[in-house]
Amino acid sequence: MVGRHVKLAEAVAERSEPDEQEDEPTRELDRYGASDDSNDSRPLSEHDWHHERLLAGTISWSVFLVLSLIVLVVVIAQIAATGPVGLSHIVRTQSNSGSASFQNGTPPTVTAEAAFVYDPDLGLTYFAKNADLELPQASCTKIMTALLAVEHGNLDQVITVGTDAQALVRPDSSYMGLSAGEKLTLRDLLYGLLLPSGNDAAVAIADAIGGNVPNFVAMMNQRAQQLGLTHTHFMNPHGLGEPNHYTTARDLAVLAAAAMKNPILVQITSTKEYTIPKTSTHKAYDLMTGDDLIPGARAPYPGAIGVKPGYTGDAGYCQAFAAIRFGHLIVGAVLNEPSWQVRITDMRALLDWGFEQESIAPAPPPVPWSYPTPES
SS3 of 127, please?
strand
Which parts of the chain fold into alpha helices (H)?
2-16, 24-31, 46-81, 142-152, 163-166, 186-194, 199-210, 213-226, 249-259, 263-269, 340-356
Question: 173 in the Ramachandran plot: left (φ > 0), alpha (ψ -120 to 50) or beta?
Answer: beta
Can you list the alpha helix ranges (DSSP code H) found in 154-198? Answer: 163-166, 186-194
Of the residues 99, 139, 174, 270, only one is catalytic, namely 139
What span, in angstroms and rounded, lies between the C-alpha atoms of 308 and 320? 5
- Count Cα neighbours of 146 within 13 Å in the Cβ-side half-sphere: 34
Catalytic residue status for 197: yes
Catalytic residue among 97, 99, 174, 197: 197
Residue of 231, 229, 249, 241 whose CA lies nearest to 110: 249
Question: C-alpha 36: how far from its chain's center?
Answer: 68
DSSP structural state of residue 338 = S
Q: Given the DSSP bridges, would you call strands 285-288 and 158-160 parallel, antiparallel or unpaired? A: unpaired
Q: Which of 142, 174, 270, 308 is catalytic?
A: 142
- What is the set of active-site residues? 139, 142, 197
